[in-house]
Chain A
Amino acid sequence: MTRKAHFERNTLRFPQKDFDMVKEGIVSLGIVGVAVVIVAAIFGAPYRPAITNQEIANQKPILVMQTAMGDLDGQGEMAAYGPPYNNGWHGVAQNIQSIGPFSPQTWWGTPYHLYTPNADVITPLTMLATASNNTALQAAIQTYNAASYTQQQAWDNNFTNALNKATVQNGQVVVPSGQYGPVQLMMNDELALAKSGLLSGALDRETNNGVYRWNIQNDLLFLQGPALHQYAKTIDMRGEQWGINHDEQAYPGPWWLTPYTFLYQVPPGSTSPSGDEIVAYTIAVLFGLLVLLPFIPGLNKLPRVLPVHRAIWRDWYKRLETTNACASCPLATSCNKEFHGPMTAAADHEIPACYDQTTSVGKGSHFVSQDSGIQPHA
């Protein structure tokens, strides 16, 4: 094939009919525009206000203390998460995904560094103590920081265990008396900070190096555990509930993520600790197949044997039939099969001459447009 032929709009050799592309575009814009505006005006769009640490602190104060304690003593999920936030708690990470030795999660180190004791407890409390001139809190933080790691862990463990027996009285968390060192005061103030609504600001300030408030990483990571999960469960948004795949009831969600979400419902996506990595790379491979479909032997021939194209071009095939194109065709059998029989695609070497407008059989008679009278561009 010559270079010129390669660029040519080679469909011009078929019979042509009038077609108004600009009108089609404008009409389509009109239809879609009117439909979208009407549907938007009637149904609106889903919106459920964001959850704040303040709300959680007021509704479930013990949960806020448990989260803060997990961040302080290293037992919490984010304290030991691993890359990209940290290298785990004292070098032990809990959430590094890998398929065998393939672990891309570790490739980039810890670009979004999160050291939970400081980020979520010590720094916000230090800011609170400074802002409120709270000398008792300042002293408690100093005592905690100066203590040995063993001593810190002892206080932490005692208070974490005490939280399991805690009750809420007048919005305050009440625990049995015990050896908590400065931790109880620190946690009471952490809760007070959260209730005031300023904890999120303190957490975001940490992530944003004190400037703009774009990066809500630490705020979300503080919320991300039981607080959001408990809430999400009540509206069927958890992973095993096809979470991300749907929106609020009666609204269509991002249904185009269905293949991706589906992989989380079946093993190994639903069972493996590296499920995310497995699902992501499975989708990447499947998407690669879709993109490269024209080059994949077998798959690229599939629509030829499926009969759907006969329905799409039914007018064209019917036209060949009504003009009796097959009657004088040297390959009448395969030509007829193309129009009628199930699973009857002709083999590659069989080229029904009745399709060929350039041969003496077809030329000039069957392939001149009956509608417009336009001659084919030979």
Chain B
Amino acid sequence: MNWTKSMRTTVTEKLTWDNLLPSEQPIYVSSLVYSFGVFTLSSLVFTIMSGVIMAAYGPTWYQYSAAGAFFRSVHFWSVQAFFFFMTMHLVGQFFMGSWREGRAMTWVLGALSFGVSVITAFTGYLSRGDFFAQWNQVQSKDAFNGAGLDGFLNILNNGQVYGLHIAVLPLILIVLVGWHMVAVRAKGVVPPYQAAHVQKKEGEKR
């Protein structure tokens, strides 16, 4: 098997402009539910942008300056929006059974993104540098130790926690979210129930 050729074929078939940026959608795309995904992504953009600014100036800046406090607030509310829309998106996609018709990997990638987001947000809480960070650190150490994660993570080591929060976990999240979006675009949004059966029958005919 020629990996180069295989990869090129996959990319040229999946990542066409027509797939990535379609200028039309099936007419059944007509519900507020469809906007939760793009709102989730928008919130993530503001989370990352405010986070990059905070990381650039450093932890003391966002604790002890007015501008820092403002960006900390933007970061805080972006995260709240991100989780709100992501939860709505997840619930909506569940009720649509959006893993149908070869879209299982899209769901898996989305669910994994949710899990990584929770861990990323948690390390963010530990990076606040205030009482809540202290308290969550000492409280959660028992959980991380009891679960056997102590070999990988010293939750009381701010260097490790901060590094995970601003670099490692966001990188994983961006890859997962990007892959999820490509999967959504490559397959198109899931058709309504029942109509899908027709599609199945059609596929068999080919």
A-to-B contact residues, CB < 8 Å:
1-2, 4-7, 9-22, 24-25, 28-29, 31-33, 35-37, 39-41, 43-51, 83-84, 95, 97, 103-105, 107-108, 111-112, 207, 212, 214-217, 220-221, 223-224, 228, 231-232, 237, 239, 243-244, 247-248, 252, 254-257, 274-277, 279-281, 287, 290-295, 300-301, 303-304, 306, 308-309, 312-317, 319, 338, 345-346, 348, 351-352, 355-358, 369, 371-372, 374
Contact = CB atoms under 8 A, between A and B. Distances in A.
Contacts of B121: 254, 256
A104 B146 CA distance: 7
A221 B122 contact: no
A207 B83 CA distance: 35
Contacts of A345: 193-194
Given A9-B188, A95-B142, A237-B135, A32 B27 contact: no
A51 B137 CA distance: 13
A301 B112 CA distance: 21
A25 B38 CA distance: 7
Interface in B151-196: 151, 154, 156-160, 162, 185-189, 191-195
Contacts of B48: none
Contacts of A228: 134-135, 138
Interface string B129-143: 111111111111111
Given A7-B10, A254-B121, A257-B122, A16 B25 contact: yes
Contacts of A290: 111, 114
A45 B191 contact: no
B45 interface: yes
B23, B76, B118: most-surrounded residue (chain A CB, <10 A): B76
Interface string B52-84: 000000000001000001101111111011010
Contact of A303 (B95, B122, B185, B204): B95
Contacts of B26: 11-12, 14-17
Given A10-B187, A237-B135, A44 B21 contact: no
Contact of B102 (A6, A22, A207, A212): A6
A14 B73 contact: no
B22 A39 contact: no
A4 B9 CA distance: 10
Contact of A36 (B46, B83, B101): B46
Nearest to B156: A217
Nearest to B37: A28
A21 B22 contact: yes
Given A40-B73, A228-B138, A345-B193, A355 B154 contact: no
Interface of B: 10, 13-14, 18-19, 21-31, 33, 35, 38-39, 41-43, 45-46, 63, 69-70, 72-78, 80-81, 83, 87, 92, 94-97, 99, 101-104, 107-108, 111-112, 114-115, 117-118, 121-122, 125, 128-143, 145-148, 150-151, 154, 156-160, 162, 185-189, 191-195, 197-199, 201-204, 206
Nearest to B72: A45
B148 A107 contact: yes
Contacts of B81: 32, 35-36
Given A29-B42, A48-B132, 11 more contacts: A14-B195, A16-B26, A29-B45, A36-B74, A45-B72, A212-B159, A214-B158, A274-B146, A303-B97, A316-B30, A338-B194
Contacts of A352: 194
A337 to B, nearest CB: 10
A276 B159 contact: no
9 contacts: A28-B41, A45-B77, A217-B154, A290-B111, A309-B96, A309-B97, A313-B192, A316-B195, A358-B198
A217 B157 contact: yes
A45 B130 CA distance: 12
